[in-house]
Structure 1
Amino acid sequence: MKNSLSLRRLTLKPATLFMIRTLSSTAFFLFILLFFTGSPVYSQNNPFVFGDPLPDAPELAYRGNFQVGVQTLELLHKNQPDILNYKENETPEYDRPLTVEVWYPAAKSPDAQRVTYQDYLGSPNDPDRPLEAFSFSGRAIRNATPNDSEGPFPLIIVSHGYPGSRFLMTYLTENLASKGYVVVAIDHTESTHADAGKFASTLYHRALDDFFVLNEMARLNESGSDHFLSGMVDAANTALIGYSMGGYGVLNAGGAGYSPGFVEAFSQMTGGSEKLAERSLADPAYSGTVDSRVKAIVAFAPWGMQRGVWDAEGLENLRIPTFLIAGSEDDISGYEEGVKAIYEGAVNTNRYLLTYLNARHNVAPNPPVSPDLDQADYMHYSEPVWKERRINNINQHFVTAFLGIHLKGLDYESFLDLSANSLEETWKGFVPRTSIGLELRHAKP
């Protein structure tokens, strides 16, 4: 069997090389074992999983010091507008179920079995692509004992695309939890791989789902709640992360009110409902819904700008620090008239725009689980130019820096104070020559 250590490239100083030459074979073997202590060594018994650092991963992509636990919660948001069954002059309601996955710092348990996640391929609305379950491994421990001695931990809420699932970005959710965050990813009902419904539900419920989950996490944290999250969650320091339609939702939750034209289009789509007006500046109560507990927003390829979802006034109302991530050739959300236009229009917030040059829309999800997938399933995860695992590592690095600053007060500013064009010099935290193909813009109010 090939030596698994060959998966890691060695960069040794001259003095170290001299010492190696003078070692006996037995001593050399012991030296190698010591050299690799604490570094991931991947073999048949410890396979590579989503989010593991590649040899060229930037500095902050590596996992933190906490072991990660994971649990599933079933929540119920009562008396919500049933958008899919709206009719003119009728406003039916339903109790909206939300399944969430919670990753959290856990007590050490070296012998525990790592988690297996299950998601779906195919489409519930396409007879030629029936739903098919698939599974993949993670590095979290199912139902592990929480590390409540070092909490509470800042809260991160993650919102997937349409369709998607709470497992779409496990490379990031596990990584952040290992660094001392409670991370909650939502299965947005009527918007997942398994239950995708009409688009109107996604348009209406996204920001409201985020707020509901925030309130539920705060409630479960309360002392005496007799819940595993009791004392674990610092909801007063919360970040929202969203991809595609998730990005659409977290921007609105953060203060980017929907435009009058978009509200009117939604009204026509839903048979007369004007409920979306509540999420626009036309409603005097909207600005008061922006939650002061939300300290930072990360939006991957947020959908909507080139479709008229926001106007100048709506973007100017966004005041929470925001990190945008996009491909320069995004063919779903758009770039020049899409994500970059959001960056340019959100003039009242401290904001960043990280751009993957020549990438399209899929700059956020886990990579495809297999090259043998049906083409449509493969392309749902695949990025045609960039290596997805490389994107994953870069995302881990920059999200760690941005949230470390705004949720933990860490001194990570130097990881973001970079030349706009990565070709000018290798960016801080990157292996020499590996920041090529990236741009980072930064603007303040």
Structure 2
Amino acid sequence: MTLTVAVNTTAQTPGDAFVTGDPLPNAPELAARGTYAVGVRTMTVVHKGQVDVLHTKEGKHPLYDRPLTLEIWYPARVAANKPAIIQYESVFGRANDPKRPLIPFTFPGRASRDAEPDNSGGAYPLVIVSHGYPGSRLLLTYLTENLASKGYVVVAIDHTESTYRDLAAFPSTLLNRPLDDLFVLNEMARLGAKAGNTFLAGLLNADNTALIGYSMGGYGVLNTTGAGFSPQAMTLFGKVSGGSTALEPRTMASPAYKPTLDPRIKAVVAFAPWGMVDGVWDAAGLAGLTLPMLFVAGSKDDISGYEKGVKAIYDGAVNADRYMLTYENARHNVAPNPPPAASLLPGAPADDYNHYAEPAWNERRINNINQHFVTAFLGVHLKKLDYASYLNVPETDDRGAWKGFKPRTSVGLEMRHAKP
């Protein structure tokens, strides 16, 4: 069921209007966009012969070809007199849920569709972005555009059976998140090779990759990079998947797991990663995290949990050089774009507004702070920039000591740092 709501966003978004991701007057320093114009293209790739966990019968796993739609932002050549405004098309709601029908909407961004790539910077670092459950590849455009403007190729995945449009049972998401991440990395390496025949040829360096994940995306990127699942995760998966054991190769105890850890991945950003409260990881699994990590959390997260959730992951990742940014009194929505205008219209379910909104924070403010700290973190680990002082700040900032923040604007934030 699809409910169509007409929203005239085009008339509201001239080049000088505020667009999702633009810096507010109190934005921290590194939230500002970089020097590159931004292009964006859509691509579909197919992961063939994957386990169809949603149709497992009597312990037998049929296989299927798994399509993944990707949105790719990249440094581009755009004429100075050509407005870099795009209208993204998305939906909110829930597939197959008549109480939360799919509502299409558009929203503006600062990118140029199908623009010519700018190869002047050589092969740019690669960033792969994984959304929540449900979500979409367009959930974090404030961040994806921002990073592309700073010289990254950014690839956001529509995880099949986990988006608003095609939401399916949870076992698919539990199984496929890390598998999708690794497949997309391999596809980007193939397509980005200098001998390739797509716009990506020679544009990206897959040997210098970061993963960014939100909620179930955070769950996936942690497993992709060393946090093998626990025996309790296998029990949980078996219960929700009718006894399937398809998750076993992603457990810490499996001999098949560690060989999948990919040295091309250099850093990880995990926004509100799900799973710890449900026992998805134990101490041995978290100890497998060795890459530099930035965790972002709300202190009142009631989906992933805080003290027994995200903070417990941070505390347990004892072999990683790790940071944790906490938004005090925020709940789970510390990563997405602000609520779309269509979610404010009469008839739009309140739950769909709340899927994006933070009750105690301005979402645009959160976006700017995330841009700042992710820029610093990836700048250090993928570009070798001298940005460490933006990260190595006092745990709280009552005296205006956080580098890059205007006076009186770091209230409500905490930054922790721990080394192996």
* Residue from 289, 294, 312 that aligns with 1:323: 294
| In 1, Cα distance between equivalents of 2:258 and 2:338 | 37
**2:68 counterpart residue number:** 98
Match of residue 365 from structure 2: 390
C-alpha separation between the residues in 1 aligned to 2:394 and 2:183? 39
Alignment counterpart, residue 363 of structure 1, candidates 323, 334, 343: 334
Q: Kindly indicate whether residue 143 of structure 2 is the aligned counterpart of residue 210 of structure 1.
A: no
Unpaired runs of 5+ residues, structure 2, are: 1-11
Partners of 1:128 and 1:344 lie apart in 2 by 39
Cα distance in 2 for residues equivalent to 1:82 and 1:61? 41
Structure-1 residue corresponding to 2:8 = none
Residue aligned with 2:294, SS? strand
CA distance in 2, matches of 1:139, 1:239: 23
Q: Kindly provide the amino acid, as one letter, of the partner of residue 48 in structure 2.
A: K
How do 1:15-414 residues align onto structure 2 when only pairs under 5 Å count?
A: 44-113=14-83, 114-370=85-341, 371-372=344-345, 373-414=348-389
Contact 1:426/1:434 (8 A) holds in 2: no
What CA distance in whole angstroms lies between the structure 1 residues aligned with 2:418 and 2:179? 28
The one-letter code of the counterpart of 2:356 is Y
Give 1:271 deviation, angstroms.
Answer: 2.0
1:426 and 1:433 in contact (8 A); partners too:
no
Task: Rate the CA distance shift 1:43–1:87 in 2: closer, same or farther, 3 A.
Answer: closer
- Cα distance in 2 for partners of 1:194, 1:336 equals 33
Output one character per residue of 1:205-259: Cα deviation in whole Å (capped at 9) or x when no partner.
0001000000000000112211100000110100000000000000000100110
SS in 2 for 1:307: coil
Give per-residue Cα distances to partners, 1:285-307, cap 9 Å, x unaligned: 21111100000000000000011
Is the contact made by 1:59 and 1:397 (CA closer than 8 Å) also made in structure 2? yes
Q: Cα offset for 1:268? A: 2.8
In structure 1, how many angstroms separate the alpha carbons of the residues matched to 2:364 and 2:227?
A: 31
Paired AA for residue 93 in structure 1: L
Report the residue type matching 2:121 in the other structure.
E
Contact residue 247 and residue 299 of structure 1 kept, 8 A: yes
- How far did residue 273 of structure 1 move? 1.5
> What is the match of residue 392 of structure 2?
417
Q: Secondary structure at the match of 1:378?
A: helix
Q: Structure 1 residue 45: deviation in Å? A: 4.4
* Partner AA of 1:388 in structure 2: E
Alpha-carbon distance in 1 for matches of 2:201, 2:266? 22
Distance 2:242 2:332 in 1: 31
Which stretch of the first structure deviates more once superposed, 273-282 or 294-303? 273-282
Query: Is contact 2:13-2:108 (8 Å) kept?
Result: no
- The code of the aligned residue for 2:238 comes to S
2:5 matched residue in structure 1: none
Give the letter for the 2:198 counterpart.
Answer: H
- Amino acid corresponding to residue 140 of structure 2 in structure 1: M
Alignment TM-score, normalising by the size of structure 1: 0.89
Mapped to 2, the partners of 1:180 and 1:194 lie a distance apart of: 31
CA distance in 2 between partners of 1:223 and 1:45 (Å): 35
* 2:120 partner SS: coil
Question: What secondary structure sits across from 1:156 in the alignment?
Answer: strand
Maintained 8 Å contact 1:222/1:231? yes
Aligned residues: 404
CA distance in 2, matches of 1:266, 1:43: 45
Q: Offset of 1:328 from its aligned partner?
A: 0.2
The answer on whether the counterparts of 1:156 and 1:240 sit within 8 Å (CA) in structure 2 is yes
**Bigger radius of gyration, 1 or 2?**
1
Would you say the 8 A contact 1:419–1:425 is kept in 2? no
Unaligned runs of 5+ in 1: 1-41
Q: Does the Cα contact within 8 Å between 1:87 and 1:270 map onto a contact in 2?
A: no
Query: TM-score scaled to structure 2, two decimals?
Result: 0.94
Tell me the equivalent position of 1:19: none
1:424 Cα offset (Å)? 4.6
Give the 4+ runs in structure 1 shifted more than 3 A: 42-45
Q: 1:438 to 1:55 in 2, by over 3 A?
A: same
